[in-house]
Amino acid sequence: MQINNFLEDAAQKFPDNKAVWYKGSWTSYGQIDVLANKLANYLKETGISRGDRVAILYENSLDYIIAFFAVLKAGAVDVSLYTEMTVGTLTHALSHSGAKALIADSKYSHYIVPSLGRAPELRDVIANREGVFENEGNVRCNHICLKEIYDNGKATQPGVQCIDVDLASIVYTSGTTGGPKGVMLSHLNVVSNTRSIVRYLELTQKDRVMVVLPFCYKYGKSLLTTHFYAGGSVVIDNRFVFPQVVLETMRQTEVTGFAGVPSTFLMLLNRSIALDLRCESLRYVTQAGGSMAPSIQKKVAAVFAPAKLFVMYGATEASPRLSYLDPADFSSKCGSVGKAISNVELFVVDEHGHRLPPNGVGEIVARGSNIMMGYWNDPVETSRVLRNGLYHTGDIGKMDEDGYIYLLGRSDDMIKVSGLKVSPREIEDALLDVEGVYEAAVIGVNDSVLGQAIAAFVVPEENTRLTKDRIRKALRSRLPAFKRPTQIEFVSSIPKNASGKIAGAELRMRYEPSRKSAHS
């Protein structure tokens, strides 16, 4: 089975069923399938063949969904790009992937135009407005308006034969641990993972998910693939800077599911009317994409009740899901990311790759049909994380006697204070338990005495009189002395990457100026 079969099967079984809500109107499976066929046939006619890469630069939209399935129908490889980019990152993705075509929203033309001449294999640009790139001095690329393809394209199935181990997507990581890498996911990887997620969430045709996470982010994309596989529907609302508007859309469209990363839920809990949320149709909420303190998880569970909270763990390299905590176990195992999903094996190993006994601290490794094929054109990094049939996640954690996984942090984020390893996550969780703390992030910084010292960045809640002394006093009962921050900085926000994870490198850049000013 291939990913594009999700759409094709749904369009054949129930063509008139609502598939996508976007900008106030519904589009059916049958309508999306026809438009995706037209775009896929155009790609074929321009010479795109099996295995060629096609980049997509769109925010969440109906056009994005059509483009995604069209690329796969044509037998090509989807390269979905983050819309938060620079000319440099866009040029890198286009040239590194060897993309032969780009399907883009013309509002990103100020990034696209300078990149066109630097992507040697790019020959076609498909935009949603006419004439955007025609007078830009780039005669090497062909340009066409998406509407022209929708109006005049062939609606028949393109009929390209692929197999499930073919490459389906190259997903560029957000670069939290170095430069972005192109994660290669096959149809088999995604289909296998999709089936497992559908199983534990018990998704059906009746399910409808609110999507505020970007589709170019694998967690966001999984909301699309799982609901299309189940024959359900997705509701797209890109106005999450106004949470109340999104909550109203949820009520209006009667969604059954909502997904977010920690920053999503912090905004809902602290900067909106989430406490007044009563979406009667909502039956589940999922959280992944980074650690969320148990105290915050409990608040989320209480606010969204009776909807069930699924705490999940994964990675882009895992298509993306590795584990989930069953809501029935939330009270007894709060703080855990649960057990491996079906068709995935998870365990903890020491530095030599040997499996550790219960509660032993080491690196989490995984195996399963959802694990990536490798990194595009990067055999060195591929061999580093794929060894002996296992995916080495780089996450440090432990597994208890009952098989539940607990995350302690990234191996490259662990702080070594006087030779003792300290988990930033443990300190962040303790900070978030302090009254008046809205958000917190912790990093290790060089120290001539300790080797590394602990620096904490804290965002206070609005209208609160939080002081550093209050924080230090509260931490005395929560953390031993060597785990307490030696430096506390109040900030207005915590920098994050496009997928909502804390940007540690940017925090370190912030710390250096603040340290210099403190000693000047």
pLDDT digits (tens, 9 = 90+) for 271-288: 656 556 678 999 999 999
Strand (E) positions, 194-338? 208-211, 233-236, 257-260, 284-287, 308-314, 321-325
| Mean pLDDT, residues 345-359 taken together | 96
- Residue 489 makes CB contacts below 8 A (sequence gap 6+) with 455, 456, 457, 458, 510, 511, 514
User: Mean pLDDT in the chain?
Assistant: 91
| Mean pLDDT, residues 125-136 taken together | 76
Residue 512 pLDDT greater than 70, yes or no: no
CA separation for the pair 8, 287 (Å, rounded): 29
| Mean pLDDT, residues 219-246 taken together | 95
Residue 57 CA, distance from chain mean position: 16
Which long-range contacts link 273-279 to residues 24+ away (Cβ below 8 Å)? 273/243, 273/244, 273/247, 274/243, 274/247, 274/303, 275/303, 277/247, 277/250, 277/303, 277/304, 278/251, 279/247, 279/250, 279/251, 279/254, 279/255, 279/307
pLDDT digits (tens, 9 = 90+) for 160-181: 999 999 999 999 986 544 568 9
pLDDT for 135 equals 55
pLDDT digits (tens, 9 = 90+) for 406-460: 998 888 778 888 777 788 888 999 999 999 999 999 988 888 777 788 999 999 9
Is residue 131 left, alpha or beta, with left meaning phi > 0 and alpha meaning psi from -120 to 50? Answer: left
Q: Which two tokens stand for residue 495?
A: 């920098």
Residue 514 pLDDT greater than 90, yes or no: no
* Ordered structural domains, the chain, with CATH: 4-162 (3.40.50.980), 187-410 (3.40.50.12780), 416-518 (3.30.300.30)
CA separation for the pair 82, 104 (Å, rounded): 12
pLDDT for 177 equals 47
Taking alpha carbons only, the member of 42, 244, 29, 245 closest to residue 142 is 42
pTM of the model: 0.87
Confidence of residue 519 (pLDDT cuts 50, 70, 90): very low
